[in-house]
Amino acid sequence: MTTCSSMTMYGRQRKVRKLAAAAALSFGVCWTSSALPASHEDTVNVYSARKEALILPLLERFRAETGIRFNLVTGKADELLKRLQIEGSATPADVLVTTDAGRLHRAKEAGVLQKIDSDAVDRAVPENLRDADGFWTGLSKRARTIVYARDRVDAGNLSTYEDLTDPRWKGRICVRSSGNIYNQSLVASMIETVGVERTEAWARGLVRNFARPPAGGDTDQLRAVAAGQCDVAIANTYYFGRLVASAKEKDRKVAAALALFWPNQAPGDRGVHVNVSGAGIAAHAKHRDNAVRLLEFLVAPESQSWYAEVNHEYPVVEGAPVSETLRSFGDFKADTLNLTRLGVNNRKAVELMDRAGWR
């Protein structure tokens, strides 16, 4: 059963409903239930900022494999975090699934997560893709890379993120706004690697080379390159993968006009910036053991391969099979920075981008 509304609350916890009503929030969430009340002992309750199509099939497999039923609430990341804060100890949530290490860090800092404490998760997921203190784990990995127009850019002229400030790229770069968490995390990673001063100089140089004011999402940047509005974009690889594998001919035509470039690959360089979608256990989880079992299921090889096939995201588990689309992108060296630092440096990144004029 799936229900969507401007304020959807599930279960029979009156305190939760009163808290939400008092806050006068409009969460715009969707609730999907496998037909058990939220208090049932063989249940796990999931708040997910990932779209239903990217989490529901895995939850259904989890239920079939373990017999544990689920309730799923989907909504925007910031709204779900606020909801957890308002609900406090009365929350029915057991697991929070969200995108970007920066958002996961915000949830940790807000006190709505608890330590996972799972040997299976620790063995499966590389340390740099997990919170340094154990409060969240990556579930799927994405690279934020350079995409360029095949007919207007010689790949030999591309090398690093830093090189995008070169005058030859003036008026040729598209990227989304500084309000986007993916860009904030890219900048946060650079702050950790090269420091605030050098990163700010880079951001100022990038802004000087913008082809247009930032607007739209990553797919909009890719379409702009294909349409000739700019020649180079910075985007997460799965957006390109969606176009490559789309059933729509117009999407595939956009993809055919583009190519990926992996920056910062030289010996001794840090590699391409990577981030994750991830999850943590709610601080007040009523079904903690079930929550741990779900996280362990989500980092199992079969689940990891599903993410790679359906949304063209890279597995966080080394050796898990990937889709043909991902294989076509080729191999790359990824930055091994612990992603906790992206959250720690987020405020510095936002302030830096504002000073640099990145709107």
> Hey, where are the domains in the chain?
2-140+276-324, 142-272+333-355
Identify the helix (H) or strand (E) that includes residue 156.
none
Beta-carbon-side half-sphere exposure of residue 50 (alpha carbons within 13 Å): 25
- Both tokens of residue 171? 């008026």
Structure tokens at 100: 């970007």
Q: pLDDT digit of tens for each residue in the chain (359 aa)?
A: 444 433 333 333 444 444 443 433 444 556 565 444 445 679 999 999 999 999 999 999 999 999 999 999 999 999 999 999 999 999 999 999 999 999 999 999 999 999 999 999 999 999 999 999 999 999 999 999 999 999 999 999 999 999 999 999 999 999 999 999 999 999 999 999 999 999 999 999 999 999 999 999 999 999 999 999 999 999 999 999 999 999 999 999 999 999 999 999 999 999 999 999 999 999 999 999 999 999 999 999 999 999 888 889 999 999 898 889 999 999 999 999 999 999 999 999 999 999 999 99
Backbone angles phi, psi at 253, to 5 degrees: -65, -40
Q: Please, what's the b/e burial string for 35-58 (b: 16 or more CB within 10 A of its CB; e: otherwise)?
A: eeebebeebbbbbbbbebebbbeb
pTM above 0.75, yes or no: yes
Helix (H, G, I), strand (E, B) or coil at 315: strand
DSSP string, 225-254: HHTTS-SEEEEEHHHHHHHHT-SSHHHHHH
Q: How many CB atoms lie within 10 A of CB 338?
A: 16
CATH 3.30.830.10, domain 2-140+276-324, yes or no: no
Q: Which helix (H) or strand (E) holds 296?
A: helix 288-298
Name beta bridge partners: 147: 233, 260
Say yes or no: do domains 2-140+276-324 and 142-272+333-355 share a fold. Answer: yes
Q: Which CATH superfamily is domain 142-272+333-355 in?
A: Periplasmic binding protein-like II (3.40.190.10)
